[in-house]
Chains A and B, each alone.
Chain A
Amino acid sequence: MATLPQLIEEDIREIDGALNDLLTKSEATSALVIDKGGFLITQCGEVRRFDFTTLGALAAAMYAATQGIASLVSEINFSSVYQQGENFSLLVHNVDEHCLLVVIFRAQISVGAVKYYSLGTISEVARQLHSAQSRTPGEGFDLSVLNIADTADLFRKKQA
């Protein structure tokens, strides 16, 4: 399976810029980019209000389940999933092969407006991810600094 590229500060800055622009235009509360495996890549807006790590994992699973349903009704793809709430609503939209855009917005805001502005954001995020993908491998991060040979166990059990 192809993997998401390594992301550098420039990528995150560009993606954050696009998300902040979306929040300003649509008046949404928070926006995040997640990968389809459930990892949180970056988030903007009211970041302390929600547990984005868990939200990312659940939203990715929900989207994946929706794709399973799409294939059962002979659709190639449902490109977005919308959940309407009483206080907050949620829109999950496909970005590219690897990523999803998740927008959380107050229920009073029209989903149409959020969808409309999201389309521009999706193009910008996809473009930046594509540019990260095509970056030369030499710019990749050297993980050999992670010398774990002499470290103690990474996860420790509490002493009784």
Chain B
Amino acid sequence: MAIINQATKELQVKIVYYGPAMGGKTTNLVKVHENIQTAQEKGKLVSLATSSDRTLFFDFLPIEAVAIKGFKTKFQLYTVPGQVIYNTTRQLVLRGVDGIVFVSDSQYEKMQENVESFANLEDNLRTLKMNLPDIPYVLQYNKRDLPNVAPVEYMEFLLNNREVQVPSFGASASKCEGVFETLNMITRMLLHKFINESGRKPA
């Protein structure tokens, strides 16, 4: 549900970071906010969190990409709360989503949570009358710097074992490794989708 505003030559896109609790979704946004080149427009990072720093409603970061052929492309990055009890909130944040980054936790003991969270994402999209295969999404295998991580091949088997495989990235969000690679890939996929869709319309 991206907005194309010809009057202001703006394309506005919503990307949601989804995944299990404590997986590093908020850290991804914090690192983008801290490390993005300042020549590009960046907004304030808004965190609606509990006193223990867990995301309560969402985190929100508006950023603007380099202008492409006179078009301003504005991206709104959101996270959802990972805790199971906040499912209604996750549904609210997913409303109008254009692209999804699924942030999984690479530690062996988190595999069940990863799989459950992915299934929950599919369920929530269905509730909103959306279908995951129709939405550009990428997978991020976060926390690769920890000692007890599962091999990437195993995570691919668990989370990316579908008819169409999506791009996936190993990451250590706390060190800002893999964060920009993930963001650039979902952005690229989204823009290609819009271009293809607009190309199908008669001129």
Total chain A interface residues with beta-carbon distance under 8 A: 44
Stretch at the interface among A24-32, A75-83, A102-110, A142-150: A142-150
Q: Let me know if B96 and A1 touch, CB within 8 A.
A: yes
Bound CA–CA A7/B12 (angstroms): 12
Considering the complex, which residues of chain A in the window 103-160 have a beta carbon less than 8 Å from any beta carbon of chain B? 137-138, 140-148, 151, 153-158
Known: A54-B46, A57-B76, A138-B202. A155 touches B3 (CB 8 A): no
Q: Let me know if A61 and B58 touch, CB within 8 A.
A: yes
Q: Contacting A12 at CB < 8 Å: which of B5, B11, B191?
A: B5
Distance of A81 from chain B, by nearest CB (Å): 14
Residues of A within 8 A of B92 (CB): 61, 64-65, 68
Bound CA–CA A153/B180 (angstroms): 9
Considering the complex, which residues of chain A in the window 34-77 have a beta carbon less than 8 Å from any beta carbon of chain B? 35-41, 51, 53-54, 57-58, 61, 64-65, 68
Q: Contacting A156 at CB < 8 Å: which of B1, B58, B180, B202?
A: B180
Bound CA–CA A41/B74 (angstroms): 12
For A160, the closest partner residue in chain B by CB is B35
Bound CA–CA A8/B6 (angstroms): 5
Distance of B3 from chain A, by nearest CB (Å): 5
Q: Let me know if A156 and B46 touch, CB within 8 A.
A: no
B201 contacts partner chain A, Cβ-Cβ < 8 Å:
yes
Bound CA–CA A145/B4 (angstroms): 14
A6 contacts partner chain B, Cβ-Cβ < 8 Å:
yes
Q: Let me know if B184 and A54 touch, CB within 8 A.
A: no
Bound CA–CA A68/B12 (angstroms): 25
Q: Let me know if A1 and B43 touch, CB within 8 A.
A: no
B44 contacts partner chain A, Cβ-Cβ < 8 Å:
yes
Residues of A within 8 A of B32 (CB): 155
Q: Contacting B60 at CB < 8 Å: which of A1, A6, A57, A138?
A: A57
Q: Let me know if B93 and A61 touch, CB within 8 A.
A: yes
B169 contacts partner chain A, Cβ-Cβ < 8 Å:
no
Q: Let me know if B68 and A146 touch, CB within 8 A.
A: yes
Q: Let me know if A54 and B7 touch, CB within 8 A.
A: no
Q: Let me know if B14 and A37 touch, CB within 8 A.
A: yes
A86 contacts partner chain B, Cβ-Cβ < 8 Å:
no
Distance of A98 from chain B, by nearest CB (Å): 8
A21 contacts partner chain B, Cβ-Cβ < 8 Å:
no
Bound CA–CA A106/B128 (angstroms): 37
Residues of B within 8 A of A6 (CB): 4-6
Q: Let me know if A155 and B187 touch, CB within 8 A.
A: yes
Q: Contacting A144 at CB < 8 Å: which of B3, B129, B198?
A: B198
Q: Let me know if B36 and A158 touch, CB within 8 A.
A: yes
A11 contacts partner chain B, Cβ-Cβ < 8 Å:
yes
The 4 A-B pairs of least Cβ separation, nearest first, read A37-B96, A143-B198, A12-B7, A9-B7
Interface positions of A (Cβ within 8 A of B): 1, 3-4, 6-9, 11-13, 35-41, 51, 53-54, 57-58, 61, 64-65, 68, 137-138, 140-148, 151, 153-158
Interface positions of B (Cβ within 8 A of A): 1-8, 11-12, 14, 32, 35-38, 40, 43-44, 46, 57-58, 60, 62-63, 65-66, 68-71, 73-74, 76, 78, 88-89, 92-93, 95-97, 128-130, 176, 179-180, 183-184, 187-188, 191-192, 194-195, 197-199, 201-203
